Amino acid sequence: MLKEFKKFILRGSVIDLAVAVVIGAAFGAVINSMVKDLITPLISAIIGEPNFSNLTFTINGATFYYGSFLNALIAFLSIATVIFFFVIQPINKLKELAGIQDKALPKEKECKQCLSKIPDKAKKCKFCASAQ
């Protein structure tokens, strides 16, 4: 049983996953810090309000804290913007400069009879057996 456990732990995919989790956590901390320490103060300087959590409205005695939702939405959009402009765009530019292309997804077409997706190279639909 110990040999089997050792074999499981030392599999490449387990180690790759562990490394990815650790790097992902560290990368998440960098992105969160950039948003918290740079982007949020910039938004606060422009809008004049750093925190919207006090914004509420009341209907029939029920209080709705829409300010907390605005804070979460602004944080999400800020993180997505930072990742896109500071991670995705530079990586895509580096790939372009290095001549690396992403592998294209296999092409599919739609069956005219049952509307299922079938591989471009297939001659018949596997669901209704109609010829393509």
pLDDT digit string, tens, across residues 28-83: 888 888 888 888 788 778 877 777 788 899 999 999 999 888 888 888 888 888 88
Vertex 66 angle, CA 63 and 68, to 5°? 110
pTM: 0.54
The two structure tokens encoding residue 64: 């709705």
- Beta strand extents in the chain (DSSP E only): 57-59, 62-64, 108-110, 117-119
Q: How confident is the model at residue 105 (pLDDT cuts 50, 70, 90)?
A: low
The DSSP code for 128 is T
Query: Per CATH, the architecture of 2-101 is what?
Result: Orthogonal Bundle (1.10)
Encode pLDDT of 16-42 as tens digits. Answer: 888 889 998 998 888 888 888 888 788
The two structure tokens encoding residue 106: 């296999």
**Residue 104 pLDDT:** 61
Would you kindly state where each structural domain of the chain is located, as residue ranges? 2-101, 107-132
**Residue 83 pLDDT:** 87
Whether 113 and 125 have beta carbons less than 8 Å apart is answered as yes
